[in-house]
Each structure stands twice: as structure tokens, then as C-alpha cells.
């Protein structure tokens, strides 16, 4: 049965947590939107596509929004209780700080589990959908937008320019269309006026042109007597295929083997495969070296001979007849070059395998380290709030941002160290947790002994 004291701390925590979580989530989502804003503008995307894009982007932000929300809300909760002297009264009644924190500890453990499940199952799926959608948007050409005096060249084999465009957005004047369906042929259409319209299925752009000329060039690369034809028209209809401007719907299965789209169990399976490939590469390297350097498999027999019976070694060239010396040297250089190229190729392949293994381990450790960060940051926020004894969004927010920036920077630096091979995946991805855990223990100790750490 939940005691009234536990109900008090839970009610005091849940409100600030919900507010700070959605604020942090919104800020992080806007940051992701600004990152990809240039790829979205001018593509003529519908609201459903933009909504899907934002939904998939926001999914990966939850693992960052959850730790910062726990940090800020725990500081605010205990700061409010300290400011209103409720925390002092509770301690005076003989209840320790750890006992008072116990219900929120279980809440923090619950949030750790939720964050891990989200990072292990939801985020890989969201990343898979996001990459497929983002690539379709990235390679989608801008929507048709004909500006005055500017060539529109995003329709393949066409360059379209209008000297003037009326306010209705459909009527254009002094139309110039270059058409190049063959590298040696350049067809041109010039018209005084035209009206633009889109087909009902939005697959074709229709130009109804009036009072113009069409210039055509016929022939091929083997024919030097090309014909040049000039046609005049009072009305002419020209259709443009807009399929190249549409967003392609790529099957997301193309990206499903990427390490960011895998759960922890799938990453373990992929790592087993990568280790087997690495072992087979080592075996292939030994086999290749045995072909080029067969004598390396033989032992050194000179050490078994008596010193007085050993043959005095002379220059290698003197042992070869003059007639064969050039050919032997040429063959030796060729073998050395082939061996060098082979070893460089094997070294590059081995480096690629090691890098791929590192990236898989980064994602595996990320799923656990970010969920554990929720628990560590709670043990920083709760004692900080009881020491600062300030509620609201003033001092608690400033202190929380400082610690979260420290956590975020350590996390970024650790990941960078792993990618560059400076640190192991465990040390790099758990760097923030390893550094902040002693800080949490220290602050908890100070809070339990009513430290005046921040009074000055």
C-alpha cells in the first residue's frame, strides 16, 4: 500500500515531469526539423508526408528528452519541497532522504526500462522508415515553379523560360522552350503567349501556346547533311511528363541491414557474422602470403649446421648467370608489387571490417547507456534539488542545463573516440555514465548530511 508520503512525492514529481518532457521533446524535435529544413523547402510536399517525416524524426529524440526531463523535474520537485520547508519537516520526523526518494527511484527504474524498450524496438523501426522517406525527399526534384526570366531545368531534356507571368499564375508571355532529346539535336519552341495547366492525375504539365514557331533539327551523328525545319503555329499544345518531379516510394527493406535499424539481438547476430568474416579474411591473408612467399613456411635450417661447415654467403646477383639476371630481377619486382597491392587491399578490407564492428557496438551500447542515464541523472537531480532548495524554472533549470550539457558533451566525445578507434566501445559509449555516477553519489551523500554546498 502506498503511503501518504509516497503519494506526496509522486504527485509533486509527475506534474513537472510531464511539462519538462514535452518541452524538451518539442525543442529537440524543432532542432531536428531545422537540421533537415533545406531538404524540405521547395519540394511541394503534402502535409501527410511532412507529418510522417516529423514523426519519424521525433522518435529518436525521446531517448534524449527522457533523461533531461527526469533531471529537470527531479531538481524542481525536491527544490520546491525544500523551498516550502516540507523536506526539512520530513527529515526532522526521522525519515531519511533515501527513504523519501524511494518511490521516485522506482519511477526512474521504470523510465529506464521504457527508454530501453523504445531504443531497442521503436527507434530502429522509426530509423528504417525515416531513411527511406528522407532519401525519397532528398532526391525528389523541386516542385514546378516557373519564375519570370529564369530557366526551369528540372524536367529532363527541357529548359523552360517565361519572360513574363500574369497574376493568375497560369498565363505566361514570351515563352522559350529548349528541347534536347538527342545530343546532336536541339529543338526550340518560341511563343508569344501560353497558358499552363496540370492534368487531373498531376502527372503531366500542359502548355497551350499561341502565335509561335518551332525549330527542329533532324539527323544523326553519322549524317553530315542535317535538315533544319521551321514550323509556324497559331496554337500548339505541349505536354511535359512530371513523373521525374514526383517523390519515389522506395521500399524500406533496402536499408534494413543497416546497424541503426537493428535491435540489440539483431546486432549480436550481425556481430557474429562480422567476426566470422574477419576470421576468414585472416585465413585468406595467410593463404595469399603462402603463394607469394612459399619459403616462409619453412624453418631456418642454418642454425642446425656447425659453424665451421656453414657456407659463406655472397651477393645474390653473383649466384645468378648473367643471361638470367635481368629476368630474375624483373620477376622479383613484379612479385613484390603484386604482394604490396594485395596486402594494401586486404588491409583496407580489414579496416572496413573493424570500422563496421565498431559502429555495430556503438549502437548496441547506446541502447543501454542512454536508458541507464535516466537513473544516473535522477541521482544528480534529486540531491541537487534538496541542496539548492529553490523551486520553479529559475535556478533549477540553469543547473539542470549545465549537467545535461556535460552529459551530452561526454556522450558525443565518447562516441567520437570510439569511431576514431581511440577508445573501446564500452568506455566511449558509457563515458558520460561513468563520469556522472561518482558525481551523483557525491551529491547524494552531501544531501543526506544537509550540506551547505551551494550556499555561497
> Quick check: 296 and 290 in contact, CB under 8 A?
yes
pLDDT for position 413: 92
- Long-range contacts (CB closer than 8 Å, 24 or more residues apart) made by 29-38: 29/54, 29/57, 29/58, 29/61, 32/57, 32/58, 32/60, 32/61, 33/57, 36/134
394-404: average pLDDT: 78
**pTM beyond cutoff 0.75:** no
Span of 51-65, 176-190, 349-363 with lowest mean pLDDT: 176-190
Instruction: Identify the pLDDT of residue 1.
Output: 41
Choice between 9 and 451, residue whose per-residue pLDDT is larger: 9
- The DSSP annotation for 256-279 comes to TTSGGG--HHHHHHHHHHHHHHHH
pLDDT, tens digit (0-9, with 9 covering 90-100), for 137-175: 655 544 566 778 888 777 777 888 888 888 877 888 888
- Top-ranked range on mean pLDDT: pick from 6-10, 180-184, 428-432: 428-432
Tens digits of residue pLDDT in 70-109? 988 888 888 888 777 777 777 777 777 777 788 888 998 9
**pLDDT more than 70, % of the chain:** 81
Task: Let me know: does 172 contact 196? Beta carbons within 8 Å.
Answer: yes
Confidence band, pLDDT 50/70/90 cuts, at residue 434: very high
According to the model, what pLDDT value does residue 183 have?
A: 62
Answer yes or no: is pLDDT of 313 > 80.
no
Cα 431 from Cα 369, distance rounded (Å): 9
Q: What's the rounded Cα separation, in Å, for the pair 387 and 88? A: 11
Q: Which residues pair with 196 in a beta bridge?
A: 207
| DSSP single-letter state for residue 169 | S
Of 364, 344, 183, the residue nearest 264 (C-alpha): 364
**pLDDT at residue 110 in the model:** 92
Mean pLDDT for the stretch of residues 231-245: 79
pLDDT tens-digit readout, 334-350: 888 888 888 888 888 88
Query: If you search the block for the grid coordinates 509516497, which residue do you land on?
Result: 6
DSSP secondary structure, 297-347, as one string: GS--GGGGS-GGGSPPP--SGGGS-HHHHHHHHHHHHHHHHHHHHHHHHHH
Highest mean pLDDT among 183-192, 216-225, 264-273, 280-289: 264-273
Q: How far is CA 14 from the centre of its chain?
A: 33
Q: Cα–Cα distance between 438 and 432 in angstroms, integer?
A: 11
Question: Which grid coordinates are listed for 452?
Answer: 551547505
pLDDT band at 249 (very low <50, low <70, confident <90, very high): low
Residue 206 pLDDT grade (very low, low, confident, very high; cuts 50, 70, 90): confident
DSSP designation for 254: G
Q: How far apart are CA 371 and CA 98, in angstroms?
A: 22
Residue 262 reports pLDDT greater than 80: yes
The alpha carbon of residue 210 and the mean position of all alpha carbons in its chain are separated, in whole angstroms, by 51
pLDDT tens by residue, 107-144: 989 999 998 988 888 888 888 888 777 777 655 544 56
Residue 334: partners with Cβ closer than 8 Å, 6 or more residues away: none
The region of weakest confidence among 12-21, 204-213, 304-313, 397-406 is 304-313
**Beta strands 158-165 and 227-241: pairing type?**
unpaired
**Percent of the chain whose pLDDT exceeds 90:** 5
Amino acid at each position: 500500500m502506498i503511503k501518504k508520503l509516497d503519494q506526496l512525492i509522486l504527485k509533486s514529481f509527475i506534474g513537472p515531469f510531464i511539462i519538462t518532457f514535452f518541452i524538451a521533446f518539442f525543442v529537440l524535435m524543432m532542432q531536428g526539423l531545422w537540421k533537415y529544413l533545406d531538404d524540405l523547402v521547395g519540394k511541394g510536399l503534402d502535409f501527410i508526408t511532412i507529418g510522417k517525416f516529423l514523426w519519424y524524426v521525433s522518435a529518436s529524440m525521446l531517448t534524449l528528452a527522457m533523461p533531461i526531463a527526469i533531471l529537470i523535474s527531479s531538481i524542481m520537485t525536491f527544490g520546491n519541497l525544500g523551498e516550502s520547508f516540507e523536506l526539512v519537516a520530513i527529515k526532522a520526523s526521522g525519515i531519511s532522504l533515501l527513504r523519501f526518494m524511494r518511490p521516485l527511484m522506482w519511477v526512474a527504474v521504470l523510465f529506464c526500462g521504457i527508454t530501453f524498450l523504445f531504443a531497442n524496438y521503436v527507434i530502429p523501426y522509426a530509423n528504417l522508415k525515416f531513411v527511406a522517406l528522407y532519401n525519397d525527399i532528398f532526391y525528389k526534384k523541386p516542385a514546378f515553379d516557373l519564375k519570370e526570366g529564369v530557366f526551369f531545368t528540372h524536367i529532363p531534356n527541357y529548359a523552360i523560360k517565361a519572360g513574363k507571368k500574369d497574376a493568375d499564375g497560369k498565363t505566361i508571355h514570351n515563352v522559350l522552350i529548349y528541347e534536347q532529346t538527342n545530343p546532336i539535336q536541339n529543338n526550340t519552341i518560341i511563343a508569344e503567349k501560353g497558358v499552363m495547366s496540370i492534368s487531373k492525375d498531376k502527372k503531366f504539365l500542359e502548355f497551350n501556346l499561341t502565335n509561335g514557331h518551332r525549330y527542329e533539327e533532324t539527323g544523326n551523328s553519322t549524317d553530315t547533311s542535317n535538315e533544319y525545319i521551321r514550323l509556324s503555329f497559331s496554337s500548339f499544345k505541349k505536354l511535359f511528363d512530371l513523373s521525374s518531379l514526383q517523390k519515389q516510394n522506395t521500399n524500406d527493406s533496402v536499408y534494413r541491414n543497416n546497424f541503426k535499424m537493428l535491435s540489440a539481438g539483431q546486432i549480436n547476430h550481425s556481430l557474429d557474422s562480422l567476426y566470422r568474416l574477419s576470421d576468414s579474411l585472416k585465413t585468406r591473408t595467410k593463404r595469399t602470403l603462402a603463394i607469394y612467399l612459399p619459403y616462409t613456411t619453412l624453418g631456418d635450417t642454418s642454425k642446425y649446421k656447425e659453424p665451421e661447415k656453414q657456407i659463406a654467403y655472397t651477393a645474390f646477383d653473383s649466384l645468378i648467370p648473367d643471361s638470367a639476371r635481368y629476368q630474375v630481377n624483373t620477376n622479383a619486382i613484379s612479385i613484390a608489387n603484386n604482394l604490396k597491392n594485395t596486402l594494401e587491399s586486404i588491409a583496407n578490407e580489414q579496416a572496413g571490417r573493424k570500422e563496421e564492428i565498431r559502429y555495430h557496438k556503438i549502437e548496441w551500447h547506446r541502447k543501454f547507456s542512454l536508458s541507464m542515464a535516466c537513473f544516473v541523472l535522477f541521482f544528480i537531480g534529486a540531491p541537487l534539488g534538496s541542496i539548492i532548495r529553490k523551486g520553479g524554472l529559475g535556478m533549477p533549470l540553469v543547473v539542470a542545463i549545465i549537467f545535461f550539457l556535460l552529459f551530452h558533451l561526454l556522450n558525443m566525445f565518447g562516441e567520437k573516440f570510439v569511431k576514431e578507434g581511440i577508445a573501446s566501445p564500452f568506455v566511449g559509449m558509457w563515458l558520460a555514465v561513468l563520469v556522472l555516477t561518482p558525481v551523483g553519489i557525491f551529491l547524494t551523500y552531501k544531501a543526506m548530511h544537509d550540506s551547505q554546498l551551494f550556499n555561497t
